[in-house]
Amino acid sequence: MTIHKPVLLHESIEGLKLKKGDTVVDATLGGGGHSSEIFKIIGKSGKLIAIDQDSAAIENFKKQLSSEVDNVFLVKDNFANLQNILGGVRILAVDAILADLGYSSIQLEDEARGMSFLQNSILDMRLDREQELTAGKIVNEYGVAELERIFKDYGEERFARAIARKIYQQRSLKPIETTKELAEIINASVPERYKHGRINPATRTFQALRIETNRELEVLEKFIPQAIEALKPGGRLAIISFHSLEDRIVKDIFRENARGCICPPDFPKCVCDRKEKIRIITQKPIVPNALEIRENPRSRSAKLRIAEKI
Protein backbone atom coordinates (compact mmCIF):
# COMPACT_ATOMS: atom_id res chain seq x y z
CA MET A 1 0.00 0.00 0.00
CA THR A 2 1.31 3.45 -0.94
CA ILE A 3 1.87 5.80 2.00
CA HIS A 4 1.66 9.49 1.18
CA LYS A 5 4.13 11.78 2.92
CA PRO A 6 3.00 15.42 3.07
CA VAL A 7 5.73 17.81 1.94
CA LEU A 8 6.99 20.61 4.22
CA LEU A 9 4.37 19.60 6.78
CA HIS A 10 5.92 21.24 9.83
CA GLU A 11 6.98 24.39 7.97
CA SER A 12 3.59 24.98 6.33
CA ILE A 13 1.53 24.33 9.46
CA GLU A 14 3.81 26.49 11.57
CA GLY A 15 3.75 29.23 8.93
CA LEU A 16 -0.05 29.39 8.99
CA LYS A 17 -0.02 30.26 12.72
CA LEU A 18 -3.06 28.07 13.39
CA LYS A 19 -4.88 27.99 16.70
CA LYS A 20 -7.81 26.18 18.23
CA GLY A 21 -11.14 27.28 16.76
CA ASP A 22 -9.74 28.56 13.45
CA THR A 23 -11.56 28.17 10.14
CA VAL A 24 -9.10 26.75 7.62
CA VAL A 25 -9.15 25.76 3.94
CA ASP A 26 -6.99 22.94 2.61
CA ALA A 27 -7.43 23.75 -1.07
CA THR A 28 -5.70 20.56 -2.25
CA LEU A 29 -6.64 17.68 0.04
CA GLY A 30 -4.64 15.00 -1.82
CA GLY A 31 -3.42 12.30 0.57
CA GLY A 32 -4.85 14.20 3.53
CA GLY A 33 -1.59 14.64 5.44
CA HIS A 34 -1.85 18.41 5.83
CA SER A 35 -5.59 18.29 6.58
CA SER A 36 -5.06 15.72 9.33
CA GLU A 37 -2.52 17.96 11.05
CA ILE A 38 -4.72 21.05 10.61
CA PHE A 39 -7.68 19.23 12.16
CA LYS A 40 -5.62 18.24 15.21
CA ILE A 41 -4.81 21.90 15.88
CA ILE A 42 -8.14 23.62 15.23
CA GLY A 43 -10.13 20.98 17.13
CA LYS A 44 -13.87 20.53 17.27
CA SER A 45 -14.44 24.24 17.73
CA GLY A 46 -12.75 25.00 14.40
CA LYS A 47 -13.82 24.36 10.83
CA LEU A 48 -11.92 22.60 8.05
CA ILE A 49 -12.90 22.97 4.40
CA ALA A 50 -10.98 20.38 2.37
CA ILE A 51 -11.18 20.60 -1.42
CA ASP A 52 -10.08 18.21 -4.16
CA GLN A 53 -11.04 17.43 -7.76
CA ASP A 54 -10.28 13.78 -7.09
CA SER A 55 -13.28 11.97 -5.61
CA ALA A 56 -10.96 9.17 -4.44
CA ALA A 57 -9.05 11.67 -2.29
CA ILE A 58 -12.33 12.78 -0.67
CA GLU A 59 -13.39 9.19 0.05
CA ASN A 60 -9.98 8.24 1.43
CA PHE A 61 -10.00 11.17 3.86
CA LYS A 62 -13.50 10.29 5.03
CA LYS A 63 -12.09 6.92 6.11
CA GLN A 64 -9.28 8.65 8.02
CA LEU A 65 -11.73 10.57 10.19
CA SER A 66 -12.28 8.62 13.40
CA SER A 67 -15.98 9.47 13.58
CA GLU A 68 -18.70 11.57 12.01
CA VAL A 69 -17.83 15.24 12.40
CA ASP A 70 -19.90 18.28 11.53
CA ASN A 71 -17.02 20.76 11.35
CA VAL A 72 -15.27 19.20 8.35
CA PHE A 73 -16.57 20.08 4.89
CA LEU A 74 -15.26 17.82 2.12
CA VAL A 75 -15.84 19.37 -1.29
CA LYS A 76 -15.19 17.77 -4.68
CA ASP A 77 -14.34 20.75 -6.84
CA ASN A 78 -11.48 22.72 -8.32
CA PHE A 79 -9.87 25.26 -5.99
CA ALA A 80 -10.24 27.83 -8.79
CA ASN A 81 -13.88 27.98 -7.61
CA LEU A 82 -12.94 28.90 -4.03
CA GLN A 83 -15.37 31.81 -3.73
CA ASN A 84 -18.33 29.66 -4.76
CA ILE A 85 -17.16 26.78 -2.58
CA LEU A 86 -17.07 28.96 0.55
CA GLY A 87 -20.44 30.44 -0.35
CA GLY A 88 -21.83 26.92 -0.67
CA VAL A 89 -20.86 26.07 2.91
CA ARG A 90 -21.92 29.54 4.14
CA ILE A 91 -18.49 30.69 5.24
CA LEU A 92 -17.67 34.33 4.57
CA ALA A 93 -14.01 34.49 5.64
CA VAL A 94 -11.32 32.13 6.88
CA ASP A 95 -8.25 32.28 9.13
CA ALA A 96 -5.86 30.32 6.93
CA ILE A 97 -5.57 28.67 3.51
CA LEU A 98 -3.09 26.03 2.39
CA ALA A 99 -2.50 24.80 -1.16
CA ASP A 100 -0.03 22.00 -1.89
CA LEU A 101 0.24 22.01 -5.68
CA GLY A 102 1.95 18.64 -5.96
CA TYR A 103 0.36 15.27 -6.65
CA SER A 104 0.04 12.77 -3.83
CA SER A 105 2.07 9.56 -4.01
CA ILE A 106 -1.25 7.73 -4.25
CA GLN A 107 -2.19 9.64 -7.40
CA LEU A 108 1.25 9.34 -9.01
CA GLU A 109 1.45 5.61 -8.41
CA ASP A 110 -2.13 4.84 -9.43
CA GLU A 111 -1.69 2.96 -12.70
CA ALA A 112 -5.25 3.78 -13.78
CA ARG A 113 -4.38 7.49 -13.91
CA GLY A 114 -1.34 7.25 -16.16
CA MET A 115 0.41 10.16 -14.43
CA SER A 116 3.91 8.72 -14.52
CA PHE A 117 6.26 7.10 -17.02
CA LEU A 118 7.42 4.75 -14.25
CA GLN A 119 4.32 2.58 -14.80
CA ASN A 120 2.95 1.31 -18.08
CA SER A 121 -0.54 2.77 -17.99
CA ILE A 122 -3.22 4.24 -20.23
CA LEU A 123 -2.47 7.90 -20.99
CA ASP A 124 -4.99 9.71 -18.80
CA MET A 125 -3.52 12.13 -16.20
CA ARG A 126 -6.88 13.58 -15.11
CA LEU A 127 -7.39 14.59 -11.51
CA ASP A 128 -11.10 14.95 -12.14
CA ARG A 129 -12.10 11.67 -13.75
CA GLU A 130 -15.34 13.24 -14.98
CA GLN A 131 -13.70 15.75 -17.34
CA GLU A 132 -13.42 14.84 -21.03
CA LEU A 133 -9.87 15.98 -21.82
CA THR A 134 -7.18 13.37 -21.20
CA ALA A 135 -3.46 13.27 -21.93
CA GLY A 136 -4.25 10.65 -24.55
CA LYS A 137 -6.50 13.07 -26.43
CA ILE A 138 -3.84 15.77 -26.29
CA VAL A 139 -1.11 13.48 -27.62
CA ASN A 140 -3.26 12.02 -30.39
CA GLU A 141 -5.36 15.01 -31.46
CA TYR A 142 -3.43 18.26 -30.88
CA GLY A 143 -1.51 19.70 -33.83
CA VAL A 144 2.28 19.56 -33.96
CA ALA A 145 2.67 23.30 -33.30
CA GLU A 146 0.36 23.13 -30.28
CA LEU A 147 2.20 20.11 -28.86
CA GLU A 148 5.49 21.91 -29.32
CA ARG A 149 4.14 24.97 -27.49
CA ILE A 150 2.88 22.88 -24.57
CA PHE A 151 6.15 20.97 -24.19
CA LYS A 152 8.18 24.17 -24.44
CA ASP A 153 6.02 26.44 -22.28
CA TYR A 154 4.85 23.98 -19.63
CA GLY A 155 7.76 21.54 -19.61
CA GLU A 156 10.57 23.93 -20.53
CA GLU A 157 11.68 21.12 -22.82
CA ARG A 158 14.58 22.05 -25.11
CA PHE A 159 13.70 19.31 -27.61
CA ALA A 160 9.99 20.19 -27.77
CA ARG A 161 9.89 20.41 -31.58
CA ALA A 162 11.61 17.07 -32.14
CA ILE A 163 9.33 15.33 -29.62
CA ALA A 164 6.18 16.86 -31.13
CA ARG A 165 7.18 15.79 -34.64
CA LYS A 166 8.04 12.27 -33.50
CA ILE A 167 4.67 11.97 -31.79
CA TYR A 168 2.94 13.06 -35.00
CA GLN A 169 4.86 10.48 -37.03
CA GLN A 170 4.06 7.65 -34.66
CA ARG A 171 0.38 8.46 -34.17
CA SER A 172 -0.11 8.50 -37.96
CA LEU A 173 0.75 4.80 -37.84
CA LYS A 174 -1.32 3.97 -34.75
CA PRO A 175 -2.75 5.86 -31.75
CA ILE A 176 -0.36 6.37 -28.83
CA GLU A 177 -2.21 4.77 -25.94
CA THR A 178 0.16 4.10 -23.04
CA THR A 179 2.72 5.92 -20.94
CA LYS A 180 5.36 3.39 -21.99
CA GLU A 181 4.74 4.07 -25.69
CA LEU A 182 5.00 7.81 -25.14
CA ALA A 183 8.16 7.51 -23.03
CA GLU A 184 9.80 5.41 -25.77
CA ILE A 185 8.87 8.00 -28.42
CA ILE A 186 10.37 10.78 -26.29
CA ASN A 187 13.52 8.75 -25.71
CA ALA A 188 13.90 8.25 -29.45
CA SER A 189 13.48 11.99 -30.08
CA VAL A 190 16.35 13.34 -27.99
CA PRO A 191 20.13 13.19 -28.48
CA GLU A 192 22.00 10.28 -26.89
CA ARG A 193 23.79 12.50 -24.36
CA TYR A 194 20.44 13.75 -23.06
CA LYS A 195 19.40 10.20 -22.16
CA HIS A 196 22.01 9.92 -19.42
CA GLY A 197 21.35 13.15 -17.56
CA ARG A 198 20.13 13.78 -14.03
CA ILE A 199 16.48 13.37 -14.97
CA ASN A 200 14.63 10.97 -17.25
CA PRO A 201 14.15 12.42 -20.79
CA ALA A 202 10.37 11.97 -20.39
CA THR A 203 10.14 14.03 -17.18
CA ARG A 204 9.51 17.46 -18.71
CA THR A 205 7.08 16.25 -21.38
CA PHE A 206 5.00 14.36 -18.82
CA GLN A 207 4.97 17.46 -16.59
CA ALA A 208 3.72 19.54 -19.52
CA LEU A 209 0.96 17.05 -20.28
CA ARG A 210 -0.23 16.98 -16.66
CA ILE A 211 -0.35 20.79 -16.63
CA GLU A 212 -2.30 20.97 -19.89
CA THR A 213 -4.69 18.15 -18.94
CA ASN A 214 -5.61 19.71 -15.60
CA ARG A 215 -5.20 23.41 -16.59
CA GLU A 216 -2.90 23.76 -13.59
CA LEU A 217 -1.43 27.20 -14.26
CA GLU A 218 -4.75 28.72 -15.29
CA VAL A 219 -6.54 27.54 -12.16
CA LEU A 220 -3.66 28.70 -9.93
CA GLU A 221 -3.91 32.22 -11.37
CA LYS A 222 -7.66 32.22 -10.60
CA PHE A 223 -7.24 30.76 -7.14
CA ILE A 224 -4.70 33.07 -5.50
CA PRO A 225 -6.66 36.36 -5.75
CA GLN A 226 -9.77 34.59 -4.43
CA ALA A 227 -7.76 33.14 -1.55
CA ILE A 228 -6.44 36.57 -0.59
CA GLU A 229 -9.96 38.02 -0.61
CA ALA A 230 -11.29 35.12 1.49
CA LEU A 231 -8.80 35.65 4.33
CA LYS A 232 -9.64 37.58 7.47
CA PRO A 233 -7.20 40.39 8.36
CA GLY A 234 -4.15 38.68 9.82
CA GLY A 235 -5.05 35.42 8.11
CA ARG A 236 -2.36 33.56 6.20
CA LEU A 237 -2.06 31.88 2.80
CA ALA A 238 0.60 29.20 2.29
CA ILE A 239 1.32 27.69 -1.13
CA ILE A 240 3.70 24.82 -1.88
CA SER A 241 4.81 24.66 -5.53
CA PHE A 242 6.93 22.06 -7.29
CA HIS A 243 8.26 23.66 -10.45
CA SER A 244 9.39 27.09 -11.60
CA LEU A 245 6.23 27.88 -13.58
CA GLU A 246 4.01 27.52 -10.50
CA ASP A 247 6.46 29.28 -8.20
CA ARG A 248 6.74 32.22 -10.59
CA ILE A 249 2.96 32.68 -10.62
CA VAL A 250 2.79 32.55 -6.81
CA LYS A 251 5.69 34.99 -6.42
CA ASP A 252 4.34 37.46 -8.99
CA ILE A 253 0.78 37.53 -7.63
CA PHE A 254 2.05 37.88 -4.06
CA ARG A 255 4.24 40.82 -5.09
CA GLU A 256 1.41 42.46 -7.03
CA ASN A 257 -0.90 42.28 -4.02
CA ALA A 258 1.81 43.48 -1.63
CA ARG A 259 2.28 46.72 -3.61
CA GLY A 260 0.73 49.96 -2.47
CA CYS A 261 0.59 53.23 -4.36
CA ILE A 262 1.81 53.04 -7.98
CA CYS A 263 1.56 56.76 -8.76
CA PRO A 264 4.68 58.42 -10.23
CA PRO A 265 7.03 59.77 -7.53
CA ASP A 266 6.51 63.37 -8.64
CA PHE A 267 2.73 63.28 -8.01
CA PRO A 268 1.88 65.58 -5.06
CA LYS A 269 -0.63 63.03 -3.72
CA CYS A 270 -1.85 59.52 -4.48
CA VAL A 271 -4.61 59.31 -7.09
CA CYS A 272 -4.50 55.56 -7.76
CA ASP A 273 -6.04 54.73 -4.37
CA ARG A 274 -4.16 51.45 -4.38
CA LYS A 275 -3.60 49.73 -1.00
CA GLU A 276 -1.50 46.76 -0.04
CA LYS A 277 -3.62 43.64 0.47
CA ILE A 278 -0.97 41.32 1.89
CA ARG A 279 2.37 41.25 3.64
CA ILE A 280 4.83 38.69 2.26
CA ILE A 281 6.15 36.55 5.11
CA THR A 282 8.70 34.54 3.10
CA GLN A 283 10.98 36.87 1.16
CA LYS A 284 12.72 33.71 -0.04
CA PRO A 285 10.81 30.42 -0.38
CA ILE A 286 11.17 27.78 2.31
CA VAL A 287 12.57 24.51 0.93
CA PRO A 288 12.85 21.00 2.41
CA ASN A 289 15.86 20.17 4.55
CA ALA A 290 18.30 17.38 3.71
CA LEU A 291 16.54 14.88 5.99
CA GLU A 292 13.14 15.37 4.33
CA ILE A 293 14.65 15.07 0.86
CA ARG A 294 16.40 11.87 1.88
CA GLU A 295 13.21 10.38 3.34
CA ASN A 296 10.97 11.71 0.54
CA PRO A 297 12.89 12.40 -2.69
CA ARG A 298 9.73 13.82 -4.32
CA SER A 299 9.98 16.79 -1.96
CA ARG A 300 13.30 17.99 -3.42
CA SER A 301 11.78 20.62 -5.74
CA ALA A 302 9.17 21.95 -3.29
CA LYS A 303 9.03 25.66 -2.45
CA LEU A 304 6.78 27.17 0.22
CA ARG A 305 5.68 30.81 0.09
CA ILE A 306 3.52 32.45 2.76
CA ALA A 307 1.61 35.74 2.80
CA GLU A 308 -0.51 37.44 5.47
CA LYS A 309 -3.67 39.46 4.81
CA ILE A 310 -3.43 43.09 5.93
Contact 114, 253 (CB under 8 A): no
> With contact defined as beta carbons under 8 Å apart, do 190 and 159 qualify?
yes
Cβ neighbours around 212 below 10 Å, total: 24
Integer Cα distance of 264 and 269 in angstroms:
10
Average pLDDT taken over every residue of the chain: 94
Q: Where in the chain is the domain with CATH 3.40.50.150?
A: 9-106+216-309
* Range 111-214 classified under CATH 3.40.720.10: no
CATH fold of the domain at 9-106+216-309: Rossmann fold (3.40.50)
- CA–CA separation, 57 and 154 (whole Å): 25
The reported pLDDT for the residue numbered 82 is 98
Radius of gyration for the alpha carbons in the chain, expressed in angstroms and rounded: 21
pLDDT per position as a tens digit, 137-179: 999 999 999 999 999 999 999 999 999 999 999 999 999 999 9
The string of pLDDT tens digits covering residues 26-60 is: 999 999 999 999 999 999 999 999 999 999 999 99
Question: Of 102-106, 249-253, 265-269, 274-278, which one has max mean pLDDT?
Answer: 249-253
Burial pattern 95-125, b for ≥16 Cβ within 10 A else e, equals bbbbbbbbbbbbbbebeebbbbbebebebbb
| pLDDT of the residue at 1 | 42
Q: pLDDT confidence of 269, banded at 50, 70, 90?
A: confident
Dump pLDDT digits (tens) for 100-131: 999 877 777 787 788 888 889 999 999 998 99
> Can you spell out the DSSP letters for 172-236?
TTS---BHHHHHHHHHHHS-GGGGGSSS-TTHHHHHHHHHHHHTHHHHHHHHHHHHHHHEEEEEE
CA dihedral 174, 180, 185, 190 (to 10 degrees): 170
CA dist 290 to 8, 295, 299, 302, Å?
12, 9, 10, 12
Where in the chain are all domains bearing CATH 1.10.150.170?
111-214
- pLDDT tens per residue across span 287-304: 999 999 999 998 999 999
Q: What is the pLDDT of residue 265?
A: 85
Q: What pTM did the predictor assign?
A: 0.92
* pLDDT average, residue stretch 210-229: 97
